[in-house]
């Protein structure tokens, strides 16, 4: 941030933020995971009005005193609902209108997160009576959601599908290590497309995203599969110059 001039400092001494209308600012998070070969999203059942007993996305209002930035709010809410820190978090979109929240003119800065199922410890936050993973079918969840959260979930599912074509972020749904068949299966489940195994693995090798861990799955009458993890540099270069999905069909 640029250094303030003396003129700026003098101006700010007389500035009153209360002279202007200010909307409430919230952060809502679409938390994706994969369980029993199905994409799922974490929802909480509201314990308070408005929309008591309706399902909603985890989220909360910005605390101007304690929250350093919007991402800090997202991580705070993530930990409150899952007990863990998501390995992948991305800002999705900002929603705002006078009608989206009956309490006030509210901005919602939405995020989506990817987490391995085993890392999630479901627990309802202070404003929720229950937390549950809901399946995503045909890009949607069947639950009736509070506010405009259905719109947020739909956009997040669409964004996730688009990003998978050009990135390896699907691995974040599997935890620290995974087999190549598991990684390919994530793509196929979310995109609802069958991919060619040889072409998919050739693409991963070409883009140098994963490396062997040295471990293998336990043999159960078939050849053990090798475990992989992201390369150390991968978090900074998870995106492919062209679609790995199209080349693997």
Q: What are the pLDDT tens digits along the chain (249 aa)?
A: 788 899 988 888 888 878 878 899 999 999 999 999 999 999 999 989 999 999 999 999 999 999 999 999 999 999 988 888 899 999 999 999 999 999 999 999 999 999 999 999 887 666 777 889 999 999 999 999 999 999 999 999 999 999 988 888 898 999 889 999 999 999 999 988 899 999 888 888 887 888 899 999 886 667 888 999 988 766 556 777 777 767 666
Same structural domain, 175 and 130 = no
Q: Which of 71, 130, 177, 188 is an active site residue?
A: 130
Q: Where are the beta strands (DSSP E) in the chain?
A: 24-35, 38-46, 55-56, 59-61, 88-97, 106-114, 128-135, 178-179, 210-216, 226-230
Tell me whether residue 106 is in a domain. yes
**8 Å CB contact between 31 and 42:** yes
Encoded tokens for 24:
């409430």
Domain count, the chain: 2
Same structural domain, 27 and 141 = yes
Tell me whether residue 224 is in a domain. yes
**8 Å CB contact between 46 and 146:** yes
Distance CA(115)–CA(119), nearest Å, equals 7
Active site residue 130: yes
pTM beyond cutoff 0.95: no
Same structural domain, 31 and 146 = yes
Domain ranges, residue 138? 23-150
CATH of the domain at 81: 3.90.79.10
Same structural domain, 119 and 200 = no
Same structural domain, 130 and 214 = no
Same structural domain, 142 and 33 = yes
114 beta partners: 32, 88
């Amino acid at each position: 941030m640029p250094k303030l001039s003396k003129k700026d400092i003098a101006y700010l001494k007389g500035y009153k933020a209360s002279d202007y209308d200010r909307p409430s600012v919230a952060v809502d998070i679409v938390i994706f995971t994969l369980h029993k070969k199905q994409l799922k999203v974490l929802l909480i059942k509201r314990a308070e009005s408005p929309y008591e007993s309706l399902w909603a996305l985890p989220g909360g209002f910005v605390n101007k005193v304690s929250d350093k930035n919007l991402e800090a709010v997202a991580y705070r809410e993530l930990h409150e609902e899952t007990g863990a820190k998501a390995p992948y978090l991305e800002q999705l979109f900002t929603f705002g209108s006078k009608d989206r929240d009956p309490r006030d003119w509210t901005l919602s800065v939405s995020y989506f997160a990817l987490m391995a199922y085993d890392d999630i410890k479901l627990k309802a936050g202070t404003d929720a009576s229950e937390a549950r993973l809901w399946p995503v079918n045909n890009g949607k969840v069947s639950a009736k959601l509070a506010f405009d959260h259905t719109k947020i979930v739909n956009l997040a599912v669409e964004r996730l599908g688009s990003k998978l074509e050009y990135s390896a972020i699907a691995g974040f749904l599997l935890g620290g290590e995974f087999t190549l068949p598991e990684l390919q299966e994530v793509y196929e489940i979310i995109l609802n497309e069958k991919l060619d195994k040889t072409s998919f693995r050739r693409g991963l090798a070409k883009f140098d995203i994963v490396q062997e861990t040295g471990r293998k799955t336990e043999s159960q009458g078939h050849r053990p599969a090798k475990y992989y993890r992201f390369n150390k540099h991968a978090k900074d270069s998870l995106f492919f110059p062209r679609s790995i999905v199209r080349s693997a069909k």
